[in-house]
Amino acid sequence: MSGHVFHQGHHALHGVTVVLETTGPRTYVGRFDTQDESGVHLLDVAVHDGGDPALSRGEFLRRTLKFGVRAERKHLLVPSGEVSSLVPLSAVDG
């Protein structure tokens, strides 16, 4: 069963924990599910609001890397026009 893949036929990022930067103040970290005409669908999503004076984006990402994704939203749809960047969390430097 080693290497058995349940996700064949999906987007390359399906099932991967990603950091999605928006064109606005928000940053999302969650499991990429799919992308369609409506936008990017994330699952089990942590949310950072750039307007939060108590927690910088950098600290939010450091905590997430160390302690994991604090899922605040079970499912989130980010419209394509609001996506600024999308990278695997594992590619982010803590």
Partner 1 sequence: MPYDPRLVAPMRDEMVRMGAKELKTVAEVDETLGDPKGTTLVFVNSVCGCAAGNARPALAQALKHTIRPQQIVTVFAGQDLDATARARQYFSDYQPSSPSMALLRDGEVVHFIHRHQIEGQSPQTVAANLTTAFDKFCGATV
Residue (79 or 88) nearer to partner 1, CB:
88
Cα 60 to Cα 18, 26, 57, 64, 70: the distances in Å are 14, 11, 5, 6, 10
User: Is 94 a binder of partner 1 (CB under 8 A)?
Assistant: no
Interface residues for partner 1 in 9-38 (CB under 8 A)? Answer: 14-17
Residue (2 or 93) nearer to partner 1, CB:
2
CB of 30 to partner 1, least distance (A): 10
